């Protein structure tokens, strides 16, 4: 009987259902030292953005900070992941941190410089590629993960942090729907 119930449960799941992210598996080096462990944000929506300091979209840092400021008290986490996969990042974590603080007053959680593509991709980005077919096409691609660890949406570089599309998705994620 238990097998039948389990089988019926699997059949009843919508085909588009996204398996939750195994957040406990994903941790990043923190640009400030130590680690950023995604399971510490369990129950909160997380917007993860691969970034670069010398990109035409670098001005989006300002919008990411504003998005965080607007929704942080409601539980949104905006995590920036500097990456040099598109050859537009500064040479060191220290340079990236200083650049973001001086130019944008950034106080968002930030990883160290991290690969997001190919064989060297961070395990989160490898999971996104393997499970959802998503890999960043450029800097400032955005991944929205819901409170339950479900991938809610991905956005390209052209989606501005304060765009209606993204803010509506964030508000829906915060509402838990």
Map out the domains of the chain as residue ranges: 20-175
pTM: 0.88
Please confirm, yes or no, whether 100 is among the known catalytic residues: no
- Tens digit of each residue's pLDDT (9 = 90 or more) over 59-72: 999 999 999 999 99
- Model pLDDT, residue 15: 37
Residues with pLDDT less than 70, the chain: 1-21, 177
Please write down the HEC assignment for all residues of the chain.
CHHHHHHHHHHHCCCCCCCECCHHHCEEEECCCCEEEHHHHCCCCEEEEEECCCCCCCCHHHHHHHHHHHHHHHCCEEEEEECCCCCCCCCCHHHHHHHHHHHHCCCCCEECCCCCCCCCCCHHHHHHHHHHCCCCCCCCCEEEECCCCEEEEEECCCCCCCCHHHHHHHHHHHHCC
Q: Which CATH architecture group holds 20-175?
A: 3-Layer(aba) Sandwich (3.40)
Active-site residue identified among 18, 29, 37, 55: 55
pLDDT in the model for residue 23: 78
pLDDT in tens, 128-144: 999 999 999 999 999 99
pLDDT of residue 24: 77
């Amino acid at each position: 009987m238990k097998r039948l119930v389990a089988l019926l449960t699997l059949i009843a799941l919508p085909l588009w259902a996204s398996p939750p992210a195994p957040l406990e598996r994903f941790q990043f080096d923190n640009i400030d030292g130590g680690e950023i462990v995604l399971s510490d944000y369990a129950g909160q929506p997380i917007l993860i953005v691969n970034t670069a300091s010398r990109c035409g979209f670098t001005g989006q840092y300002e919008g990411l900070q504003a998005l965080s400021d607007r929704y942080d008290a409601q539980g949104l986490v905006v995590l920036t992941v500097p990456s040099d996969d598109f050859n537009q990042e500064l040479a060191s974590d220290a340079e990236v941190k200083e650049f973001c603080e001086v130019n944008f007053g950034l106080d968002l959680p930030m990883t160290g410089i991290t690969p997001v593509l190919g064989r060297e991709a961070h395990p989160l980005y490898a999971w996104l590629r393997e499970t959802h077919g998503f890999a960043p096409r450029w800097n400032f691609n955005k991944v929205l993960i819901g409170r339950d660890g479900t991938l809610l949406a991905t956005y390209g570089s052209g989606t501005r942090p304060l765009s209606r599309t993204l803010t509506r998705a964030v508000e829906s994620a915060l509402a838990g729907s």
